[in-house]
Amino acid sequence: MSNEPRPRQAVVTGSSSGIGLAIAQALLDGGWHVAGLDVAPPTLDRPGFTPLAVDLADGPALERAAAGLQGVDALVHAAGVLRVGPLGRLDAAAGALMWQLHVDAATRLANALVPAMADRGQGRVVFIGSRVAQGLPGRGQYAATKAALVALARSWAVEVAPRGVTVNVVSPGATATAMLQDPARAASAPRLPPIGRLVEPAEIAALVAYLLSPPAAAITGQELRICGGASLAQ
């Protein structure tokens, strides 16, 4: 029988592109095994990576996928979409989609995976939020879903802290991903933060990887912004 330690197992949503892809790559580089949940075809083909095709906005389908995941040490919910609109032109369907993808998916995944982490006495959960959760004109529905992630993380962090599980939110500012070119946000262009450039997905991934590491065991229930100084004026 091998005495090799079991590879750490992470579930990463939105692993086919953008921030989720960068997080999956960083964890694989760090020796993790990663199950990538995404409705889009996988863009990674590496040892230790297992793609799982699932529509994260389809609650029952997501619960079926989560039921098949065993021995999970970390959950990173990075999948997301942005739909914008001012009062008077709000799209109820867009708001429902963002709630399902950002909040309901996080709830179903945490409900399925975190209790087993707590039973084992260790685990990590990171939700990808947004600096916009503080409020921004034209993005009220999006901001509401990201603010909800902070409330969930703080609530659950208190529940599971005594059992070795941490729950945190990483909230990026404008990030260099394909989301910036989404036609759905054409009327709401991103502003460069004070550092003079967009945040890179790899920078977010590095912070997430740290939060999943043993030295981060005392960090829980926190929202950590990585926004290039864009929050400093608030």
Residues involved in catalysis: 142
Cα dist. 142→39, 58, 72, 145, 225 in Å?
20, 19, 29, 5, 17
How far is the C-alpha of 35 from the C-alpha of 30, rounded, in Å?
14
Sorted by sequence, the CB contacts under 8 Å of residue 74 that are 6+ apart come out as: 8, 9, 10, 11, 27, 32, 123, 124, 125, 126, 212
